[in-house]
Structure 1
Amino acid sequence: MTLRFSRSTVVRFKAFSTTFAVSAALLLAGCAGQKSAPSPEAAARQAKLDQALALFSANAPGGLPAQWEPLLFTRKKKSTEYQLIEDAGRTVLRAYADQASSGLRHAVNIDVSKKPWLSWSWKTSALIPTADNTQRETEDSPVRIVLAFDGDHDNLSLMDTILFDTAKLLTGHELPYATLMYIWENKAPVGTVIANTRTGRIQMMVAESGPAKVGQWVQYKRNVAEDYEKIFGEKPGRLIGVGVLTDTDNTGQKVEAWYGDIRMMRDADGGE
């Protein structure tokens, strides 16, 4: 059977919100390990993916961190500026968005049942006053951690199958089976789960809310395996992409933010 897509379906896909766009782009970072009989070079790259995320602090200030690549959505969007800087004796990633939306991504291939704990830190200079991630038109966040997961696409609903097939038709790549983001929200309480308005395969969890900690470094630890199972109602597949995203394109605002090291760990005490 040949799938055909109406003009309205294609237009709706092109108008997807930030969460859908970032999922499509993150997949490009997560394609490693999906082909059979890899070459020795590919096997070596895979071994690196299986080890750990490359740390921002392992780099000298200036430029972009090693193994992290630009995460661009469309040419029509301005890009967020990212650069490694020194902060209190360590290297961190600075982000500056002026009506912009782009991120950085890191390809991985991690079994989150063995490394379920995600650790990260971030800081923002301000909240985005008009941002509201429950509304498509104002969906922005000063900081996001974005996780892309593999899975069995045969388990997708009919509507999601059509949506994913449309994405593949337009981009040449399949979308991640599921995408989970941790965000800083203006009003929604910590722990709130916000679904993408077009597909349940993309979900946001509020890790921080309100202005109380603006201007401070805040450290987080989340059991990703538990969060995923609670949100999606199934056990997670392999983690295939990790991204950071500071975006203000929907609200037209400016914001400056910083990201510390991101780690996947065996336990909450830091065992890698």
Structure 2
Amino acid sequence: MNPSRAAALALGAALAGCVGVPVDELLASTAIVAELPIEGGQSVEAARFSAGRAGEVPPGWSRFIVSPFARKSDYALVDGGPGVVLEGRADASASGFYRRIHIDPARYPVIEWRWRVLQTPADIDPRVPARDDSPARVIVAFHGDVTRLDLGERFTLRLYHALTGERMPYAIIMYSWASDAPVGTVTPSISTGKIQTIVVESGGFGEWRELRRNVREDYRLAFGEEPWDIVAVGVMTDASNTREKARAQYGDISFRPEP
């Protein structure tokens, strides 16, 4: 049998198997809010890379697949001067690195992190699909009201599950570095409006940069509704569309109440 036809038949069979699955069971976020206790304290340390050791994998963190057809980016703890940080490397590749966590964005709306871009594809811009790469992204995933998902978004959930065997959350904000898009640019993924990129920086190449955002305000801006609980935090170093190379380092990530 022709390999392309075999792949198409396999995908069709997988999609058929997903048809009877309730939409809320296709959301990764449904299980997370049910299984994980909600975080408390004065702040939430979502990523403590500095507490790890170079060469190790941070406990509780794992890779997530962007596309089954894309090569996978690499992530490892390294000595980043000063301290241990997470380094992401992409070579014509795209995959993320994340941990499940349960946070109330009404209580902890402010996210703080630092990163350093060390290598980037040229002329990257999330508004242009062929240039939609980034050496540095910080990702925040949310649960939400499944009744608000339209038919296209429901199909995207089923397709992603059929292709990868994994589940998507209800919505994702990607805080991104981009060389050719103005800071403040908000743009949806070509695949689904439930993934929105917000450009937070376009300069500072080679420098450690500290960033702060209000995820509650950004969610309202990106999706036009109130956010439900945060269910995952991650990073992504991506160069799959440009077929070039990217490299960035990420420091600790925390959530705090509004000042």
When the two structures are superposed, what TM-score results if normalisation uses the length of structure 1? 0.77
Residues 1:172 and 1:101: Cα distance change in structure 2 (over 3 Å): closer
Question: CA separation in 1, counterparts of 2:185 and 2:67?
Answer: 29
* Alignment RMSD (CA, Å): 2.5
Q: 1:10-50, CA deviations, whole angstroms, 9 ceiling, x for partnerless residues?
A: 79xx9xxxxxxxxxxxx65873233xxxxxxx6xxx24x62
Shift of 1:236: 0.1
Q: Give 5+ residue unaligned stretches, structure 2.
A: 1-7, 16-26
* Number of the residue aligned with 2:19: none
Q: What displacement does 1:97 show? A: 1.3
Secondary structure (helix, strand or coil) at the match of 1:214 reads coil
1:242 to 233, 240, 255: 233
Mark the CA change 1:162 to 1:87 in structure 2 (over 3 Å): closer, same or farther.
closer
Q: Which residue of 2 aligns with 1:193?
A: 186
Deviations 1:63-87, CA, capped at 9 Å, x for gaps: 2212211223455432222111122
Q: State TM-score, norm by structure 2.
A: 0.81
SS of aligned partner of 1:31: helix
- Alignment size in residue pairs: 234
Alpha-carbon shift at residue 173 of structure 1 (Å): 5.3
Bigger shift: residues 68-77 or 81-90 = 68-77
Q: Is the 8 A contact 1:130 1:251 kept in 2?
A: no
| Counterpart residue identity of residue 239, structure 1 | I
Equivalent pair of 1:182/1:207 in contact (CA under 8 Å):
yes
Q: What does 1:31-70 correspond to in 2, within 5 Å? A: 31-34=31-34, 46-47=36-37, 50-51=39-40, 52=44, 53-70=46-63
Structure 1 moving runs of 4+ over 4 Å: 27-30, 168-174
2:256 is the counterpart of 1:265: yes
* 1:170-189 alignment, distance < 5 Å: 170-171=163-164, 174-189=167-182
User: Are the structure 2 counterparts of residues 123 and 152 from structure 1 closer, same or farther at C-alpha, using a change threshold of 3 Å?
Assistant: same
Aligned equivalents of 2:29 and 2:89: distance in 1?
A: 22
Corresponding position: 1:98 with 2:91:
yes
Q: Would the aligned equivalents of 1:150 and 1:240 in 2 still touch at CA under 8 Å?
A: yes
Q: State how 1:62-81 maps to structure 2 within 5 Å.
A: 62-74=55-67, 76-81=69-74
What is the Cα deviation at residue 185 of structure 1? 0.9
What are the ranges of 5 or more consecutive residues in structure 1 without an aligned counterpart?
1-6, 15-26, 35-41
* Matched residue SS, 1:162: helix
Whole-Å separation in 2 of the counterparts to 1:230 and 1:75: 30
Q: Percent identity?
A: 34
Q: Distance in 1 between the 2:168 and 2:75 partners?
A: 25
